[in-house]
Structure 1
Amino acid sequence: MKLKTLLVSALLTAVVAGCGGTGAASTGGGGGGARTVTVYTADGLADWYKTRFDAFTAKTGIKVQTVEAGSGEVVSRLAKEKSNPQADVVVTLPPFIQKASKDGLLQKNVVPGSEHVTSVKGDDYVAVANNYLCFIANQQAGTPKSFDELLDTKFKGKLQYSTPGQAGDGTAVLLLLQHLLGKQGALDYLHKLEANNVGPSASTGKLQPKVSKGELLVANGDVQMNLSSISVDKSAFSVFFPAAADGKKTTIALPYVMGLATGAPNGDGGKQLMEYLLTPEAQQTVSSDAYGIPARDDVKPTDANFAKVQAAMNGVTPWTPDWTAVLADLDADVAAYTKAVQG
């Protein structure tokens, strides 16, 4: 996913781009005053934010300032600022939202409409848009059919995936392989794949232009971000899901999840924004604006973008992990992963 800072005013006149990716957060202040809500967010939903924040400002008079970073980095930034909170709302991926909750970085807040969310939610967070892990391939590579095919020497120096433990999508790669192969099997596979891997990448979003230009042939990504890039940026790659040894295609459900930050400078404004983003009005536009899937199960979009998402997911089985269990094992799993790829 891309890394950048968006300063979104009532007219959304300022967009300040940072260093794309799921690494260090972009620079950008928080605490913009009583009429400003500051959102720390995992990158990828900028197109949806633009239209929704514009509408929210028009409705309430409250401006929205957004700092985009990687899934893990937005939570890390919250932790660093715990004694002097700057964010009002945080949007990130599992298991990082669960980490924020466990570390006391979120406050309890039941968002109206959350009873219609069936994916990820707790008493201090709720999914705002559904999404899925996928992979992308440059047109020169065709469409790799399986995980085993990615071990082929034709991908040596032409394959890269974002780093587990830092990037939400990269963490999902490790989790999916654990689900398919078992924990040791996943480590064995990733050890073999390292022969083709360009190296660590804290950014999933930065991999998109590399694949589009042919610098890479294959990378990981997510359905929402990648389909949006194909449409908006005219990226020259396709979305695919490698099959396991049994020929079946499985992916991991990876929703964007929002929570109200502990000590939020503008908690009331943050609550209003979260409530608005979960309204049927806003949810109806997740796909049409940004190729996401509504988090509410009572919102049924019929736009062309939603149809493209459904087509991309055809024949693929989504899997949802036990995110609490994932978080409990995450540090040990990432340490084992690091040792496996460096060995």
Structure 2
Amino acid sequence: MTLRSPILAVTALATLAPLAAAADVNIYSYRQPELIQPLLDAFTEETGIGTNVAFLNKGMVERLSAEGDRSPADLILTTDISRLSEAVEAGVTQPVQSDVLNTAIPAAFRDPGNQWFGLTTRARIVYAAKDRVDPAAVTTYEDLADPRWQGRICTRSGTHSYTLALVAAMIHHHGEAATKDWLDGVKANLARKPQGNDRAQVKAIWSGECDISLGNTYYMGQMLSDDEQKAWADSVNVLFPEFEDGGTHVNVSGIAMTSAAPNREEAVRLMEFLVSEEAQEIYAEVNYEYPVVPGTAPSDLVAGWGSFTPDDVNLMDLAELRGAALRLVEEVDFDG
């Protein structure tokens, strides 16, 4: 396959030849190639700077650690605060001082130490059966532990990063004891053992196995664009619960500069381009996500799902609670 920006499908710690000449920006990405290629093409067209992407399924931090100062990668692209914070903790990123980034991105969606920066946001919402659930019935995450939902909830594993981020946010708002009680309540309301991905939960609603599930917003867009899965998406409403003393839980896709970064100047230019109005609109359209820069409109499809007020806790604060979240999930045997 020949592309303007070559995409190299690689696995963790595989041997990779130097990705490009010094003028190009080299990227390790957990994001699927088709989700970022339109952005990189627009960047190259505007700046003349080439880009090269190595798509990894796993092992990004291990790879960067093994490569050390010899790494050809300038930037990493990934989803979820846990993966971003893991890279920071492993020492494979470096801070970037940029007035453009700090002005464009709200403080809650960037690292206080300037190690990573959010590019898009996604809300952790409730999918609810159109024919069996009143849209006004779920207004808070706390509601999910109410016994009226007994046998009616589907969700993915409690140890998945998306679930742990939500549990960490619950700890932030209510403390560990109350969060453990909440987890016990949600577990008691499950229709089946936690399993599958977010789309599998919506399929379970469509088939009548459960009535509500947790999921990320962008999966609705992905399902609507799939011939088989469109029926699943059409069977549910998108609801935006909030914490009782906060807003709707959100997570991010983000970017960080590697500690080695051989092409730092060009990499900063790409980072700053990605928060421009043009790039934010492209990113949000292709990914069915919400732009991270305030004032940038989401796509018409995404806007049609409704608006919400994001929880304003800094995501790094949630990352620090991830260990506690995992411990509570294991204590209640959530997946058992």
TM-score range with shorter-chain normalisation?
A: 0.7 to 0.9
Contact 1:93 1:255 in 2 (8 A): yes
Q: Contact 2:94–2:115 at 8 Å: present in 1 too?
A: yes
Q: Report the counterpart of residue 239 of structure 2 in structure 1.
A: 240
Which residue in the other structure is 2:255 paired with?
Answer: 258
Q: What are the superposed Cα offsets for residues 109-136 of structure 1, whole Å, 9 maximum, x if unpaired?
A: 2346212211322322222123322122
Unaligned runs of 5+ in 2: none
Which residue, out of 310, 321, 325, partners 1:329?
321
- Match of 2:333, as an amino acid? V
The answer to whether structure 1 residue 301 and structure 2 residue 297 are counterparts is yes
Shift of 1:29: 6.1
Query: Cα deviations across residues 55-112 of structure 1 (Å, max 9, x unaligned)?
Result: 234443624425365xxx6xx5313540214643223322442332233121122346
Q: How does 1:34-45 map to 2 (within 5 A)?
A: 34=21, 35=24, 37-41=26-30
2:53 is aligned to 65
Paired position in structure 1 for 2:156 = 161
- Provide the rounded CA distance (Å) in 2 between the counterparts of 1:29 and 1:137: 45
Question: How far apart, in 1, do the equivalents of 2:206 and 2:18 lie?
Answer: 38
Structure 2 residue identity aligned to 1:175: A
Amino acid at match of 1:101: V
Q: CA deviation at 1:274?
A: 1.9
Please, what TM-score do these two structures have when normalized by structure 2?
Answer: 0.73
CA 150–135 in structure 1, closer or farther in 2 if over 3 Å, else same: farther
Tell me, yes or no, if structure 1 residue 170 matches structure 2 residue 163.
yes
Alignment of 1:22-33 (within 5 A): 32-33=19-20
CA contact under 8 A between 1:137 and 1:240: conserved in structure 2? yes
Q: Would the alpha carbon gap of residues 80 and 229 (structure 1) be closer, same or farther in structure 2, given more than 3 Å must change?
A: same
Q: Which residue of 1 aligns with 2:121?
A: 130
SS of the aligned residue for 2:237 comes to: strand
* Separation of aligned partners in 1, 2:196 and 2:332: 18
Give the Cα separation in 2 of the matches to 1:318 and 1:175.
15
Q: Structure 1's 132 and 86: CA in aligned 2 closer, same or farther, altered over 3 A?
A: farther
Provide the aligned length of Structure 1 versus Structure 2: 311
Q: Which amino acid letter does the alignment assign opposite residue 51 of structure 1?
A: P
Correspondence list, 1:142-153, <5 A: 142=133, 143=135, 145=138, 146-149=143-146, 152-153=149-150
Structural mapping, 1:1-343, within 5 Å: 9-10=3-4, 32-34=19-21, 35=24, 37-41=26-30, 48-59=35-46, 60=48, 62-65=50-53, 67=55, 77-84=60-67, 85=71, 87-90=73-76, 91-111=78-98, 113-114=100-101, 115-119=103-107, 120-121=109-110, 122-139=113-130, 141-142=132-133, 143=135, 145=138, 146-149=143-146, 152-155=149-152, 159-164=154-159, 166-167=160-161, 169-179=162-172, 181-195=174-188, 196=190, 198-201=192-195, 203-204=197-198, 207=201, 211=205, 217-223=211-217, 225-233=218-226, 234=230, 235-236=233-234, 237-242=236-241, 250-264=247-261, 267=264, 269-297=266-294, 299-301=295-297, 304-305=300-301, 307-308=303-304, 311-313=306-308, 317-341=309-333
State how far apart, in whole Å, the 2-side matches of 1:341 and 1:148 are: 16
| Cα pair 1:48 1:285 within 8 Å, conserved | no
CA distance in 2, matches of 1:210, 1:64: 39
Distance in 2 (CA, whole Å) between partners of 1:176 and 1:253 is 10
Q: CA deviation at 1:215?
A: 5.7
Identity over aligned pairs, percent: 15
C-alpha distance in structure 2 between counterparts of 1:58 and 1:212, whole Å: 43
Secondary structure of the corresponding residue to residue 213 of structure 2 = strand
Deviation at 1:260, TM superposition (A): 0.9
Alpha-carbon distance in 2 for matches of 1:191, 1:111: 44
Q: Return the alpha-carbon distance in structure 2 between the equivalents of residues 95 and 112 of structure 1.
A: 25
Change in 2 beyond 3 A, CA 1:240/1:31: farther
- Counterpart amino acid of 2:238? V
Q: CA deviation digits over 1:248-290, x for unaligned, max 9?
A: 8842232322111222465555434323212222123343333
Cα separation, 2, equivalents of 1:53 and 1:340: 44
Distance 1:125 1:202, change over 3 A: farther
Higher relative contact order (CA 8 A, sep 6+): 2
What TM-score, normalized by structure 1, do the two folds share? 0.72
Task: Tell me which structure has the larger Cα radius of gyration.
Answer: 2
CA RMSD for the aligned pairs? 4.0
Tell me the distance in 2 between the aligned counterparts of 1:15 and 1:219.
Answer: 35
Letter in 1 for 2:60: R
CA distance in 1, matches of 2:172, 2:285: 32
Letter in 1 for 2:65: K
